């Protein structure tokens, strides 16, 4: 029976799609099959037991029927003696019938005993098979429960790990977002405070410069009035000391006016007018004009600065030249170029493309390009100041140092030895040296030097340094000072 069950369970005709089932489904199918076989065996056993009961009832009824047969009545006494032959015949018949009944009863008893023994043997086999099948069912049930418990534990563990990982990741993201929001809020507050202070400072400066501009304008008007008075008066005799004192005083005022008015105009017409007024007022006190401020006269056999500038620019002969009463001369050329000479010796080159260039007598030069870029050259310090349209400013010094001032307030400095320094609006500094060493200084004065080999050296507000490794720095560099014009 067990072998037939094993063959039936392994046969694909019984379970045609067993190999496609999962383990739990296969176990469930096998369990259903065993339950069905068990019910069949119970039915077979019930039918055999019923047949045995019916056979036993029949045997008992036959035995009772045989036992209820009345005994043969003895013959009535006769006055006549019976013949010998009759008595012999009757006795033979009785003995024959009794023998036949006894044989039937014995045969039935033997059949009954044989059937009972067969049923008992079959019952023992069935009980054995039943116990084996119950053991198999219990084992199968136990395995199924163990597998289900194992799968449940695995699923719960996987869900717990997944939930823990997701929650941890979400918490990290939330903390990161909180830190980012906090940092942005602090930056916003700093920018707002800085912008408000800068705005108030600029307003105060605008008011001061406006007041100063009005004062300078009043000075210009006074100087023009004095100039007209000096021209209308006859020539006076003054001493050399008074003349030198007056010229020095007016020259100092001239330089001051140039510095102040350079902040309010891109063109130097106003500055040139001021210089003309100052120079003419100085010339009004002297019978001999100052040679450094006077434009040479063509009649004296010398070339005009406009001639020299035109030759330098390789311009053709001008088709128009206009001279104004205040001493300004202007020449127009066929290609659209216009050259202007002011009384103080300043020249202005203006092209049709929008490019202009001012050349001052002290060697300074100012170039304005058509895209809005302005380049100013300081002859005394050999410094080039470039202003871009996006309000970025660059300074190039004679020693090779280059500074770049960004709109956000960051200053980038490149030194001749290839060292790069960044100065941020919050006063933090970062320096990158040619050997790869990086030095940072935060707003609290804490200086950190990070070397190429990964070691660090930290200075806490001027205290002694402490290193993060055994190696020490071959040199300690300090941030360089930035020259701001």
Cα angle 335-336-340, degrees, rounded to a multiple of 5: 120
The predicted model gives 158-187 an average pLDDT of: 86
Residue 49 placed within a domain: no
Residue 375 placed within a domain: yes
Residues, the chain, total? 485
312 in the same domain as 219: no
Cα–chain-centroid distance for residue 289?
A: 72
439 in the same domain as 314: yes
Q: Give the contacts of 116 (CB within 8 A, at least 6 positions apart).
A: 52
Q: Beta-strand (E) ranges in 258-355?
A: 320-323, 329-332, 338-341, 347-350
442 in the same domain as 330: yes
CB atoms within 10 A of CB 369: 14
Q: Is 90 exceeded by the pLDDT of residue 8? A: no
Query: What pLDDT does 270 receive?
Result: 41
Q: For residue 34, give the nearest of 21, 48, 15 by alpha carbon.
A: 15
Comparing 9-18, 84-93, 98-107, the range with the smallest average pLDDT is 9-18
pLDDT confidence bin for 479, thresholds 50/70/90: very low
CA distance 303 to 307: 6
198 in the same domain as 320: no
Residue 476 placed within a domain: no
The predicted model gives 47-63 an average pLDDT of: 75
pLDDT digits (tens, 9 = 90+) for 132-163: 888 988 898 899 899 999 999 998 888 888 77
DSSP 188-232: HHHHHHHHHHHHHHHHHHHHHHHHHHHHHHHHHHHHHHHHHHHHH
Helix (H) or strand (E) holding 235, with range, is: none
> Who wins on pLDDT, 435 or 72?
435
Q: In the chain, how many domains are there?
A: 2
Query: What pLDDT does 52 receive?
Result: 75
Place of tokens 């036949």: 100
The predicted model gives 341-345 an average pLDDT of: 85
Q: At 47, give phi and psi (nearest 5°).
A: -65, -40
Comparing 50-64, 226-240, 460-474, the range with the smallest average pLDDT is 460-474
Domain end (from 187, 206, 227)? 227
Domain end (from 174, 196, 227)? 227
Q: Among 98-102, 272-276, 413-417, name the most confident range.
A: 413-417
Quick one: tokens of 406? 């960004």
Place of tokens 């300043």: 346
pLDDT confidence bin for 384, thresholds 50/70/90: very high
pLDDT confidence bin for 117, thresholds 50/70/90: confident
pLDDT digits (tens, 9 = 90+) for 209-266: 888 888 888 888 888 777 777 666 544 444 445 545 555 555 555 555 555 555 444 4
DSSP 289: -
The rounded mean pLDDT for the chain is 73
Distances (CA, A) of 172 to 165, 182, 360: 11, 15, 64
CA distance 243 to 289: 11
CA distance 51 to 260: 134
Q: Is 70 exceeded by the pLDDT of residue 92? A: no
CA distance 460 to 446: 5
Place of tokens 């383990």: 23
Query: What pLDDT does 10 receive?
Result: 43
- Residue 173 sits in which domain range? 103-227
413 in the same domain as 323: yes
CATH number at residue 341: 2.60.450.20
CA distance 234 to 344: 24
Do 349 and 331 touch, CB atoms closer than 8 A? Answer: no
The predicted model gives 313-318 an average pLDDT of: 69
CA distance 100 to 106: 10
CB atoms within 10 A of CB 301: 7
455 in the same domain as 325: yes
316 in the same domain as 436: yes
Comparing 42-51, 92-101, 399-408, the range with the smallest average pLDDT is 92-101
Query: What pLDDT does 159 receive?
Result: 84
Domain end (from 211, 227, 243)? 227
Comparing 256-270, 319-333, 365-379, the range with the smallest average pLDDT is 256-270
Q: Among 10-24, 155-169, 308-322, 446-460, name the most confident range.
A: 446-460
Cα–chain-centroid distance for residue 285?
A: 74
The predicted model gives 429-452 an average pLDDT of: 90
Residue 363 placed within a domain: yes
Q: Is 70 exceeded by the pLDDT of residue 285? A: no
318 in the same domain as 201: no
Residue 478 placed within a domain: no
334 in the same domain as 198: no
pTM: 0.36
315 in the same domain as 444: yes
Exposed, middle or buried, 395 (CB in 10 Å: 0-12/13-18/19+)?
buried
Distances (CA, A) of 450 to 55, 420, 440, 455: 108, 15, 8, 6
> Who wins on pLDDT, 309 or 400?
400
427 in the same domain as 314: yes
DSSP 287-349: SS--TTT-PPPGGGT---HHHHHHHHHT----SEEEE-TTS-EEEE-TTS-EEEE-TTS-EEE
């Amino acid at each position: 029976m067990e072998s037939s069950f094993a063959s039936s369970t392994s046969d694909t005709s019984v379970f045609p799609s067993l190999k496609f089932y999962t383990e739990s489904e296969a176990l469930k199918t096998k369990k259903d099959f065993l339950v069905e076989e068990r019910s069949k065996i119970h039915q077979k056993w019930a039918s055999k037991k019923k047949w045995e009961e019916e056979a036993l009832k029949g045997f008992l009824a036959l035995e009772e029927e045989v036992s209820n047969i009345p005994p043969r009545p003895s013959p009535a006494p006769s006055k006549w003696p019976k013949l010998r032959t009759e008595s012999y015949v009757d006795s033979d018949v009785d003995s024959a019938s009794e023998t036949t009944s006894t044989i039937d009863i014995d045969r039935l008893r033997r059949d009954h005993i044989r059937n009972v023994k067969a049923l008992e043997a079959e019952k023992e086999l069935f009980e054995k098979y039943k116990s084996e099948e119950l053991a198999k069912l219990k084992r199968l049930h136990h395995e199924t429960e163990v597998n289900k418990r194992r799968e449940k534990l695995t699923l719960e563990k996987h869900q717990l790990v997944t939930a823990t990982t997701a929650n941890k990741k979400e918490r990290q993201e939330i903390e990161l977002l909180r830190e980012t929001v906090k940092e942005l809020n602090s930056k916003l507050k700093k920018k707002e405070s800085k912008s408000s202070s800068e705005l108030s400072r600029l307003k105060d400066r605008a008011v001061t410069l406006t007041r100063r501009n009005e004062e300078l304008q009043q000075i210009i008007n006074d100087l023009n009035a004095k100039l007209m008075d000096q021209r209308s008066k006859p020539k006076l005799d003054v001493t050399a000391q008074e003349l030198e004192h007056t010229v020095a005083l007016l020259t100092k005022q001239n330089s001051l006016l140039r510095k102040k008015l350079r902040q309010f105009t891109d063109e130097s017409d106003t500055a040139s007018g001021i210089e003309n007024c100052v120079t003419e007022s100085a010339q009004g006190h002297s019978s001999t004009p100052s040679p450094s401020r006077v434009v040479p006269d063509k009649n004296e056999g010398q070339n005009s600065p406009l001639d020299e500038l035109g030759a330098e620019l390789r311009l053709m002969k001008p088709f128009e030249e206009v001279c104004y009463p205040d001493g300004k001369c202007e020449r127009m050329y066929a290609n659209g170029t216009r050259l202007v000479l002011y009384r103080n010796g300043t020249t202005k080159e203006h092209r049709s493309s929008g490019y202009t260039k001012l050349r001052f007598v002290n060697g300074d030069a100012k170039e304005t390009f058509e895209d809005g870029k302005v380049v100013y050259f300081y002859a005394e310090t050999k410094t080039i100041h470039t202003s871009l349209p996006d309000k970025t400013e660059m300074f190039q010094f004679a020693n090779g140092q280059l500074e770049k001032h960004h709109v956000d307030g960051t200053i980038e400095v490149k030194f001749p030895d290839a060292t790069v320094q960044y100065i941020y609006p919050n006063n933090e500094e970062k320096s990158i040296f040619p050997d790869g060493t990086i030095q940072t200084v935060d707003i609290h004065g804490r200086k950190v030097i990070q070397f190429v080999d990964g070691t660090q050296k930290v200075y806490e507000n001027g205290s002694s340094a402490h290193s993060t490794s055994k190696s020490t720095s071959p040199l300690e560099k300090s941030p360089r000072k930035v020259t701001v014009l």
